[in-house]
């Protein structure tokens, strides 16, 4: 398991071990002991998936309390994170990651950092563990193409929910 810092304070990338053999491969996608030993001691309480087709963009969404450990179970996803924390040394900064069922990269997103993702494959399964139970009223939304943030996306005319539009 390889844990790296990113350009955004507190956002980490985690690459679990991939055990390949002639049948395919095996991955431990989460292990409380090992993740705590790597400094990720977040008490996750809920797992979610969303399944989307090519061209869909979900987000950017965030809240002040929830940690998320994001991964791509199937397909390929472009994930953008934006630091919305007033007291962060990287306030206003964003970073993009390509996560897929090949690189198995996971991204740990702290509270106050918004995340959004765009689907690069025909279909993709976005998965995340979260540290708080779902509370839609506590979420904030950032418009994906707000010029104030200048986030780069690999698409220009995404399929969006009413909320994200
Ligand atoms: C987040 C969530 C949603 N839902 C239900 C509520 C809605 O009827 C339906 C779709 O929810 P929403 O339109 O908010 O889903 P996304 O637009 O994909 O947003 C979610 O995925 C982005 C990328 C995020 O990271 C946010 O945490 C989350 O808001 O799922 C639940 O039942 N539980 C949940 O935890």
Give me the pLDDT at residue 38, please. Answer: 94
| Residue 160 in domain | no
Q: Which residue range(s) make up the domain with 13? A: 2-141
CA distance 162 to 66: 23
| Residue 14 in domain | yes
Catalytic residue set: 61, 128
| Residue 74 in domain | yes
Protein residue with its CA nearest to atom 9 in ligand 1: 50
Give me the pLDDT at residue 54, please. Answer: 98
Tell whether ligand 1 has an atom less than 6 A from the beta carbon of residue 50.
yes
**Burial of 126 per CB tally in 10 Å (0-12, 13-18, 19+):** buried
Q: Which 3 state secondary structure label does DSSP give 103?
A: coil
| Residue 150 in domain | no
| Residue 69 in domain | yes
| Residue 19 in domain | yes
| Residue 149 in domain | no
Tell whether ligand 1 has an atom less than 6 A from the beta carbon of residue 134.
yes
pLDDT tens per residue, the chain (165 residues)?
999 999 999 999 999 999 999 999 999 999 999 999 999 999 999 999 999 999 999 999 999 999 999 999 999 999 999 999 999 999 999 999 999 999 999 999 999 999 999 999 999 999 999 999 999 899 999 999 999 999 999 999 999 999 999
CATH number of the CATH domain containing 32? 2.60.120.10
How many domains are contained in the chain?
1
How far, in Å, is the centroid of ligand 1 from the Cα of 22? 37
First CA to last CA across the chain, in angstroms?
37
Q: Check if the beta carbon of residue 61 is closer than 8 Å to that of residue 130.
A: no
Atom from ligand 1 closest to the CA of residue 126: 23
Tell whether ligand 1 has an atom less than 6 A from the beta carbon of residue 48.
yes
| Residue 165 in domain | no
Give me the pLDDT at residue 25, please. Answer: 95
């Amino acid at each position: 398991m390889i844990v790296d810092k990113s350009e955004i304070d507190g956002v980490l990338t985690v690459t679990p071990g991939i055990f390949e053999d002639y049948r395919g491969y095996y991955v431990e996608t989460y292990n409380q002991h090992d993740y705590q030993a790597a400094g990720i001691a977040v008490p996750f309480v809920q797992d979610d998936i969303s399944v989307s087709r090519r061209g869909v963009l979900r987000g950017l969404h965030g809240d002040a309390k929830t940690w998320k450990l994001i991964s791509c179970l199937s397909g390929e996803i472009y994930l953008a994170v934006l630091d919305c924390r007033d007291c962060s040394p990287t306030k206003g900064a964003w970073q993009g990651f390509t996560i897929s069922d090949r690189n198995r990269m996971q991204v740990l997103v702290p509270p106050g950092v918004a995340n959004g993702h765009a689907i690069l494959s025909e279909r993709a399964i976005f998965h995340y563990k979260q540290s708080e139970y779902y509370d839609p009223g506590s979420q904030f939304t950032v418009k994906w193409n707000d010029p104030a943030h200048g986030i780069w996306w690999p698409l220009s005319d995404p399929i969006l929910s009413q909320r994200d539009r």
